[in-house]
Amino acid sequence: MAPIALQILALQILAAQTLALRILALQTQDFALADQQHVRASLDKKPEEVQAMFDGVAKYYDRTNTITSMGQDKLWRIATRKSLNLRKGERVLDLAAGTGVSTAELSKSGAYAVGADFSLGMLRAGINVAKVKESGVPLVAADGLRLPFNDGAFDAVTISFGLRNIVDPDAALREMARVVRPGGRLAVCEFSTPTFAPFRFVYLNYLMRALPAVARSVSSNPDAYVYLADSIRAWPNQDAMAQRIAATGWADVQWRNLTGGIAAIHRATKPR
């Protein structure tokens, strides 16, 4: 798709998100704020709060993601799987796997995919997700800062929309490098910075102004929107993220933008 078409698509998504958030918040007493709430917790940087918050939103987490991203989440998961070039028989760890939907997507490659998350609520919710059940992927309770896996246990490791929630993202990147074999691959899928300046302006103003305004009218937790905007502003842009990954034991860092840079996938390899 041409870049300008991507920008238009992204704008349409944002407009639709506003409507979707309003409907969801009314229907579900704010379960729709799953992502926004986790941002708040991430800024507080208290693991117990992050855990408890995800336990609380787990039941509706995947549906919320799909509605508020207008289906883009599915495309982002496919792009993440493809970015890892997984081969049949390889082992891949999906850290901060949540309900395991991202892990199930990875298993489509034929690789043996393992999901790990420290929210038991999210893991339990995954038991009832059809595509997770059908995939048969194992989901294990584990802290990304102290993974219960041997050095070099995996051929690849990935994390989708999880790094921003981890108390110490650099330590998590180092821990991911530990459990991957030399020459193994990393893919980090995370919100990022739109690349097209006019769109970036609209996007940031949407986040900074529209989201809190919508939240005030429909949400019992409007602060969550403010925290989401803050966290995206605070989160490194594509280039800074690449440098951060390179500083934590990874080499050959590259990235590609998704939906005009609303999200990005960073790839890297562990030096041999």
Ligand X SMILES: C[S@@+](CC[C@H](N)C(=O)[O-])C[C@H]1O[C@@H](n2cnc3c(N)ncnc32)[C@H](O)[C@@H]1O
Q: What are phi and psi of 94, to 5 degrees?
A: -105, 100
Instruction: Give the count of residues interacting with ligand X (CB under 6 A).
Output: 22
Residue tagged 């309900």 (tokens): 99
Is 102 among the residues that bind ligand X (CB under 6 A)?
A: yes
d(CA 138, CA 127) in angstroms, rounded, equals 10
Q: What is the CA radius of gyration of the chain?
A: 18
Residue whose beta carbon is closest to ligand X: 98
CB of 3 to ligand X, least distance (A): 25
Beta carbon nearer to ligand X, 45 or 256: 45
Q: What's the first-to-final CA gap in the chain, in angstroms? A: 36
Instruction: Please enumerate in sequence order all residues whose Cβ is within 8 A of that of 10, keeping only pairs 6 or more positions apart, or say none.
Output: 194, 199, 203, 259, 260, 262
d(CA 38, CA 49) in angstroms, rounded, equals 9
**Which of 144, 212, 249, 261 touches ligand X by CB under 6 A?**
144
**Which of 7, 98, 191, 270 touches ligand X by CB under 6 A?**
98
Q: Mask: binding to ligand X, 39-78, rule CB under 6 A, as x and -?
A: --------x--x---x----------x-------------
Is 166 among the residues that bind ligand X (CB under 6 A)?
A: yes
Residue 182 burial (CB count, 10 A): 11
CB of 147 to ligand X, least distance (A): 9
CB of 190 to ligand X, least distance (A): 10
Nearest to 77 by CA among 57, 97, 56, 60: 97
Is 143 among the residues that bind ligand X (CB under 6 A)?
A: yes
Annotated binding site for S-adenosyl-L-methionine: 99, 117, 143-144, 160
